[in-house]
A and B are shown apart, each in its own frame.
Chain A
Amino acid sequence: MEYKVLIGLEMHCEISKTNTKVFSSAKNGYNNAPNTNIRPVDMAFPGTLPVLNKEAVKKALMASMMLSCTQPEYLCFERKNYYYPDLPKGYQITQETKPAPIGMYGKLVYECKDELKTVRINNIHLEEDAASTDHYTSVSKIDYNRAGVPLLELVTEPDFRSAEEAVAFLETMRSNYQYADISEADSKKGQIRCDVNVSIMEASLDESNPENWGTKVEVKNVNSFGGVRDAINYEIKRQIELKENGTYDSMEQQTRRWDEESGTTIYMRDKVDAIDYKYFIDPNIPKLKLDPLWLEEIRKEIPVLAFERKQKYMQEYGLSNYDATNLVKEKEISEYYEECISYGVSPKSACNWITSIILGHINKYELKITDIFVTPKMLADLIQVLEKGDISSKQAKEVLYDSLKEDKEPLKIIEEKGIRQIGNDEEILKIVKEVFVENKEAKEQYKSGKTNIVDFLVGQVMKKTRGKANPAMAMQFIKEELER
């Protein structure tokens, strides 16, 4: 039997780029000693009250707009009540779908294996993160640094048809969050966590009719993209097996847990055990009217995202998919590239220099592009010197490597070391003649049809000048000499 897979995602991403937490004046920071970024409200000391962080709202609104969601007229927050030691208040301040979260009913176009796909977004809402816990055999340790960190929860419709699509979507969102300066979106720092919904149905049935859908299985706590892929594939395989052995229909809608170590999903609870969170509007946070002018300002601040930049690089600049993908992988790299072009360098050569040397360098030394000494202006200057013919491309490469290594401006290196290309007719002609003297049989061979002798002779000229000769000029003189 052939099956279709319906996959939906709940993607939680911390907003890491605000100074303070979402309802607290404590610092929003990851890399700190445990239990240092805390105010009384983060540990729910009696009498403390939440105070909404406008910056977090702004970033959440931006995310909502990036997903083409509608924004509510008034912003409300609700309490989700449950007891767990990582939740000091005994409730999480969040947004249920009623009255209205920060974003409703949007969509996102993303790329999967060179194909454009669209996923519908059910909603995106702003909430607070819980504390982080570490469980040991006899004790558990709680770090309240994370308690109250702003968190965006995005819920998609079940529009993914494979694990690859789901992961491609997550990668797009991660990039979008990074581009919009909303979050570092680093799953190693626990900033991204996902819940995955998977169901299967017979391939021949009409998927637009929900009655044909299979039983929804929710897999919780998947904390890496690799995990998302594996969990989905595991569930597909497991559910197909149930179909094949005839037990699928007796499976209840259920919640399972992804177990990274065994690479399996483990049963947690079914629908009847679903927790009633007793949502109600938090009376401590007055509803906030969203000023349309403010929304317009935020909309204007949304940067051009990776997807659009990539399209532009390919269509307008004629870059390959591969190069364009590399250039938009990080916003900083893309910004670097675009700045370099802005100085008049051709998009193609800027791309070549950045993807071959600069990216190689930062990958090798695990740097960020913003960490390196060579600025886009310096790179542009170097490329321009090269394009004028003052230095050879081999020289230019050496200069760039030196510049990266020695933290010295390329132009300065060229000046100090007296590097220049031999572009003087007489000088080159003299060397060409020497080469012909040393290779007397060359002319004969050329005449007999061995035309690749030209490249060999140019190579000899370059060798003699240790790369300083202008290869184009050398070739021209060699050809003239051969034709003579």
Chain B
Amino acid sequence: MEYMSKSILEIHEDLKAKKVTSKELIEEATKKAKEVQEKYNAFVTILEDVKPVEEIKTMLSGIPYGVKDNYSTKGVLSTGSSNTLKDYVPFFTATAIQNLEKQGAVMVGKTVLDEFGMGGTGTTGHTGIVKNPWDTSRMCAGSSAGSACSVASGVYPYATGSDTGDSIRKPAAYCGIVGYKPTYGMISRYGLFPFTSSLDHCGVLTRNVQDAAIVVDAMKGIDKNDMTSWDSSSIHLYDSIDGCVEGKKICYIKEICDIENYPNATEELKEHLENFKKTIALAKELGMLVEEVHVDQTLLNAIASCYVVISCAEATSNMSNLTGFIFGPRGEGKNYIEMMKDYRTKGFSPLIKRRFVIGSYVLQKENKDRYFFNAQRVRRLLVDTWKKLYETYDAVLLPVGSGPAKKPEESKEILDENTQVLEEHLQVGNFGGFPSITIPNGFIHGLPVACNITSNCYEDSTALNIAYALESKMNYKNQIAKEGD
């Protein structure tokens, strides 16, 4: 009997009915993790001798899960998928993980990411490329690549992720699962290795919407160690999911969804946008009011560069603590500057170094207004535009990416100007700190594609409810990746 491919609720019922024990679940998860590691390279660490939790007090008690390797976990290697921290074993645990532990959740592995979450391919971790479980010639997208891959492969029902631009929601889409990042500050960032503090969100990857709500209910909470966290004790996400969406108003943006905007569209893109129309139809069937809205194309085109400027600037500063003096392998040299240079030169991948250079450049006195402050202004304009939409609509519904998972040679790092807005619009969710959830909404050539629902801040339950209602009308709930299907 396989349990790890079930939903959290189902496993929880089986545990309560004593059909299975936590110990057996861990054995199954560990065994699967090793298989998945062999095939797709999703893990930095698969834990040995994991202690089971047999007392079933909460819905997460005794159930195995995975943790993205940029969460600090006490006594367990936490690398951020970077050579700079390849041997780093923290002495404290991230608040979000501690909260899961308090609920009896059982961590069985640490998953691969793009180095420090910087990258959208799942190919830049120091342990190598994470392969897509639906087609190993393709990428998972990133940066939560290992978490997406392992959940989609049925190693366990959920894994934590982090999302700075789309790092939960994009890989979830390419792996055919659910990816959810709640409102900024709902989950404490204490213990999450920072990439862009003003954009970083903790979140989760699951195989259905209810599971996502259950896990975030456990992870969230105000934290004295994170000043940007807030008290959400009156919010109960799982309980608020009732499937009632009749009369909800949602919108989609013409400039992003209309095939007419993409004169050189590939067959995949055409299919993807055609498929998205089906999701709109479903929403209408569910009694939701769906309307097309316009957003200034110039503003939309600025999303990507705005993101690059802000994320690189903050990242340069956030990663200045990586010097090799206090932690990490100490570099060699005659003085501290040489030692630091040696450590950073050897430790960081070229992609990250490039971003550091951009970050430094845009913060320099003579460039700061032109780049950094202008990016802040664009960010404000975008957030205001979305906020304006939320005055009328409960959520914005949009397709994720320009189709299914890509091959490494078509890497997202090579920006395709034509479809750039489609690829990058999820970043608005980070600019505004909006709750945002991606669910699978179809297949193209046997590969999953997805749509995304983003609501206004603190309206997490609205986004979850709409996602849940749509999910219930489609056949992709709880799907497990099948190679070459």
A residues engaging B (CB < 8 A)?
40, 43-52, 79, 81, 83-85, 88-91, 140, 276, 278, 280, 282-286
The prevalent SS among residues of A at the interface is loop
Q: Which residues does chain A contribute within 8 Å of B325, judged by CB atoms?
A: 85
Given A49-B190, A278-B364, A88 and B326 contact (CB-CB distance below 8 Å): yes
Q: Tell me the bound Cα distance from A282 to B320 in angstroms.
A: 14
Q: Tell me the bound Cα distance from A83 to B331 in angstroms.
A: 15
Residue from the list B88, B90, B91, B326 in contact with A44, Cβ < 8 A: B326
Inter-chain contact A90/B227, CB cutoff 8 Å: no
Nearest opposing residue in chain A for B361, CB measure: A278
Q: Tell me the bound Cα distance from A44 to B317 in angstroms.
A: 12
Residue from the list A47, A81, A89 in contact with B192, Cβ < 8 A: A47
CB neighbors of A among B80-130 (8 A):
80, 85, 88, 90-92, 94
Nearest opposing residue in chain B for A87, CB measure: B320
B45 in contact (CB, < 8 A): no
Enumerate the 10 nearest inter-chain pairs by beta-carbon distance, A residue then B residue, closest first: A90-B320, A283-B198, A278-B363, A44-B321, A47-B191, A283-B197, A47-B72, A46-B193, A89-B321, A284-B197
Nearest opposing residue in chain B for A142, CB measure: B325
Q: Tell me the bound Cα distance from A161 to B198 in angstroms.
A: 46
Given A44-B326, A46-B72, A90-B317, 8 new contacts (CB under 8 A)? A45-B92, A45-B327, A46-B321, A46-B327, A47-B94, A49-B225, A90-B321, A283-B228
Contact with A along B39-77 (1 / 0, CB 8 A): 000000000000000000000000000000001100000
Q: Tell me the bound Cα distance from A52 to B190 in angstroms.
A: 14
Q: Tell me the bound Cα distance from A79 to B363 in angstroms.
A: 11
Inter-chain contact B190/A48, CB cutoff 8 Å: yes
Number of contacting residues on B, CB 8 A? 45
Residue from the list A45, A276, A278 in contact with B317, Cβ < 8 A: A278
Q: Tell me the bound Cα distance from A44 to B193 in angstroms.
A: 11
Nearest opposing residue in chain B for A283, CB measure: B198
CB neighbors of A among B332-370 (8 A):
336-337, 340, 360, 363-365, 368
B372 in contact (CB, < 8 A): yes
Q: Which residues does chain B contribute within 8 Å of A43, judged by CB atoms?
A: 326
Q: Which residues does chain B contribute within 8 Å of A49, judged by CB atoms?
A: 189-190, 225-227
Inter-chain contact A83/B92, CB cutoff 8 Å: no
Q: Tell me the bound Cα distance from A88 to B368 in angstroms.
A: 25
Inter-chain contact B194/A47, CB cutoff 8 Å: yes
Residue from A46, A49, A282, A283 with most neighbouring chain B CB atoms (10 Å): A46
Q: Tell me the bound Cα distance from A50 to B85 in angstroms.
A: 22
Inter-chain contact A46/B90, CB cutoff 8 Å: yes
Nearest opposing residue in chain B for A82, CB measure: B320
Inter-chain contact A88/B321, CB cutoff 8 Å: yes
Residue from the list B90, B227, B317 in contact with A50, Cβ < 8 A: B227
Residue from B71, B90, B190, B317 with most neighbouring chain A CB atoms (10 Å): B317
B314 in contact (CB, < 8 A): yes
B464 in contact (CB, < 8 A): no
Q: Which residues does chain B contribute within 8 Å of A83, judged by CB atoms?
A: 320, 323, 337, 340
B168 in contact (CB, < 8 A): no
6 contacts between A and B (CB under 8 A): A40-B92, A44-B321, A49-B226, A79-B317, A90-B321, A283-B197
B473 in contact (CB, < 8 A): no
Q: Which residues does chain A contribute within 8 Å of B193, judged by CB atoms?
A: 46-47
Nearest opposing residue in chain A for B80, CB measure: A46
B277 in contact (CB, < 8 A): no
How near does chain B come to A135, taking the closest CB pair, in angstroms? 11
How near does chain A come to B90, taking the closest CB pair, in angstroms? 7
Inter-chain contact B88/A46, CB cutoff 8 Å: yes
How near does chain A come to B202, taking the closest CB pair, in angstroms? 11
Residue from the list B91, B313, B320, B322 in contact with A280, Cβ < 8 A: B313
Q: Tell me the bound Cα distance from A85 to B331 in angstroms.
A: 13
Residue from B92, B321, B364 with most neighbouring chain A CB atoms (10 Å): B321
B224 in contact (CB, < 8 A): yes
Q: Which residues does chain A contribute within 8 Å of B365, judged by CB atoms?
A: 276, 278
Residue from A47, A51, A91, A278 with most neighbouring chain B CB atoms (10 Å): A47
Q: Tell me the bound Cα distance from A111 to B310 in angstroms.
A: 49
Q: Tell me the bound Cα distance from A48 to B327 in angstroms.
A: 14
Q: Which residues does chain B contribute within 8 Å of A50, judged by CB atoms?
A: 227
Q: Tell me the bound Cα distance from A280 to B316 in angstroms.
A: 12
Q: Tell me the bound Cα distance from A78 to B321 in angstroms.
A: 16
How near does chain A come to B101, taking the closest CB pair, in angstroms? 16
Nearest opposing residue in chain B for A43, CB measure: B326
How near does chain B come to A113, taking the closest CB pair, in angstroms? 42
Q: Which residues does chain B contribute within 8 Å of A52, judged by CB atoms?
A: 227
Q: Which residues does chain A contribute within 8 Å of B337, judged by CB atoms?
A: 83
Given A48-B190, A49-B190, A278-B360, A284 and B323 contact (CB-CB distance below 8 Å): no
Q: Which residues does chain A contribute within 8 Å of B368, judged by CB atoms?
A: 278
